[in-house]
Amino acid sequence: MKNLFLLLPLLIIFSFACKSSEGDSVMDNPFFAEYNTPFSTPPFDKINEDHYLPAFIKGMEEQNKEIEIIINNPDEPTFENTIEAIEYSGNLLSKVSRVFNAMTESNTSEKLQNISKEISPKLSKHRDEINLNPKLFERVKSVYDKKDNLGLNTEQAKLLDEYYKGFVRGGANLNPVDKDKFKEINSQLSLLTLQFGENVLKENNSFQLVIDNKDDLEGLTEDVIASGAEEAAAKRLKDKWVFTLQKPSMIPFLQYSKKRELREKLYKGYLNKGNNNNELDNKEIIKKIVNLRLQKANLLGFKTYAEYVLDDNMAKNPKNVYELLNKLLDPALNVAKKEAADMQKMIYNEGNKFKLASWDWWHYAEKVKKEKYDLDETQLTPYFKVENVINGVFNLASNLFGITFEERTDIPVYHPDVKTFEVRDADGSHIGILYTDYYPRESKRGGAWMDAFRKQYKKDGKNISPVIYNVGNFTKPTADKPSLLTVDNVNTLFHEFGHAIHGLLSNCTYPKLSGTATPQDFVEFPSQVMENWAMEPVVLKSYAKHYLTGEPISDELIEKIQKSGKFNQGFETTEYLAAALLDMDFHSIEKPFEGDVIEFENEAMKKIGLISEIEPRYKSTYYNHIFSSEPGYATGYYSYIWAAVLDADAFAAFKETGNVLNPELGQKYRKYILSSGGTEDSMELYRKFRGKDPDIKALLEKRGLN
């Protein structure tokens, strides 16, 4: 899920990567008119790369005119003529930005990336000129100073507070010299983070493990071999097998390959992305980003960038984040060490003498799982055909929230892999549109995410319905098999759907506060809580059906899944915490960073006692969450575990009713969490749903760390 914390409500620009050349007339550019499509969805059949740049330029011009009207209004500043006027400005810019950002992340090209480099500094300058406009801030401050006498409702008061804080955090109180410095910092960060992400994508695509000897396929399942053959065929390599750094290709190879030296080669290719001392190396870029962020924080009166970011989150300060992470680290690391010992014992029992290494973990975890629980992925994946899993999560949402999904074939899409669904409420009324895009390709970055082509909001008494998309990188269908998911893939699909449903069921007035526009350490809660249902027996029975026979998953397999539910949680929690702490350490520096990035990372891992058998989930040079967009998840990767405390506690509420599909509780969750967006304090909304503060005990129990 991408971060959603920028001042301008309709201008969400995290990953800039898609632009165009000029030359289109106003009449030809689809962005310049109302979309003549079902539910005003983007007309992807008409949009081409040449449309983006003119639309960006015109969008900035239009918003500048709208801001000038606000500034020059002779009437006394009011909530309506100032705050609401800013809120609803920039419509065209939002329109093109949302499509553009989606394409550069999921369907990019060299031309789009080049346009990104051209437009990114212009967009940064445009935002700064609004955020740093003294006359505009004067009007906002005037309204803010009399907020207690304006009779504002809860959502209006929250919007006013967000705008005032946004201007202050955007540098509005700086002197003219510091404002210029601030602008230059933002401009540099926009280009550096863009370059970081492009380097990771190119490194990801450039590495391939080519196998031309059948003996080197030993241990791999038929499905994995078939995928490797199809990848080789796509690259026009005859009688070979290719494995890439895309997770659906890499992880199964690490799990099943008996060729340790090949597992090492593939995994080290992954670990060294952005760290190969070539033109795609990211180490110097990281140093520049970290130092620029520190400068930015210092200008705004904060000692560290972490303090600056967290001041606007639920956590409030670095101390609270470190306390939570360290409280979980010791029990997670202790469990991980036991897991490593089990694997080392197996290595010795097999007659081997080598020490377990990071590239061995997936392989021996799979073996230990098979030995302890008589369960492995090959038993489960036949039941997780992607279409069935999608139906499963749709049915879950129907049971909990009373909504339905209908596939549409009349809505233009940006790639043949994409499907669209109309979402309706229990009374049949239209809620929104959901796009799904689940297969990897070279034009798509790794990972999984959700965002919106259009957010939900209300204006002039009319509800503007949301247009949401989910993107993933799951195993592609082959010539004779559908896309079959791993348990991890299933959890990821449920996770991103949780974000999607947060955007779809939004019922807010203002786009700045709608849907997923919550504090960063709350936004992962609605997504993570959905994962709890994925492996629940009653839910599994509804969607886990063998792709060949149609038979539902057996009670015996479900029992094995339940018993193995806490397996490998030491590893998964530890690798995550290591990455979260690395993020915090980079952004907690108080002096300019002059050292070596890899040494800094190694010292950070040594400090927390990370064992050599485990690498942080993301190493610095390919840590897209924190370095490929601004601000991205910088000082925010901890939010997944912060939200995990909430999600475990919230799911416990359903368990306590004796019915995990309890519709009454589902409606309560919809009302206070999904529909409310960021209109109130997040913890207050949680208390309204749960009736109490969250308890960390539920998380420790869920992961077997207690």
Structure tokens at 675: 């529909």
The single-letter DSSP state of residue 674 is I
Neighbours of 295 (CB within 10 A): 18
Q: Which residues pair with 419 in a beta bridge?
A: 436
d(CA 124, CA 129): 9
Query: Is residue 102 exposed (0-12), middle (13-18) or buried (19+ Cβ within 10 Å)?
Result: buried
Residue with the two structure tokens 């939010």: 639
Residue 36 exposed, middle or buried by CB count within 10 Å (0-12, 13-18, 19+): exposed
Residue type, 217: L
SS percent in the chain: helix, strand, coil, step 5: 55, 5, 35
8 A C-beta contact, residue 482 and residue 550: no
Active-site hit among 496, 524, 536, 601 = 496
SS3 for 171-200 is CCCCCHHHHHHHHHHHHHHHHHHHHHHHHH
Distance CA 50, CA 134 (A): 35
Distances (CA, A) of 586 to 294, 600, 611, 642: 10, 8, 20, 19
Among 611, 147, 94, which residue's Cα sits nearest to residue 333?
611
Three-state secondary-structure class, residue 454: strand
Q: Which amino acid is at 332?
A: A
Q: Are 67 and 130 in contact (CB under 8 A)?
A: yes
Quick check: 634 and 293 in contact, CB under 8 A? yes
Write down the residue that tokens 């109180």 correspond to.
173
Counting every residue, how long is the chain? Answer: 706
SS3 labels along 125-165 = HHHHHHHCCHHHHHHHHHHHHCHHHCCCCHHHHHHHHHHHH
Alpha-carbon gap, residue 187 to 646, rounded angstroms:
36
Q: What are the residues whose beta carbons fall under 8 Å from the beta carbon of 479, sequence distance 6 or more? A: 230
Catalytic, 496? Answer yes
HEC-encoded secondary structure of 492-506: HHHHHHHHHHHHHCC
Q: Which residues are catalytic?
A: 496
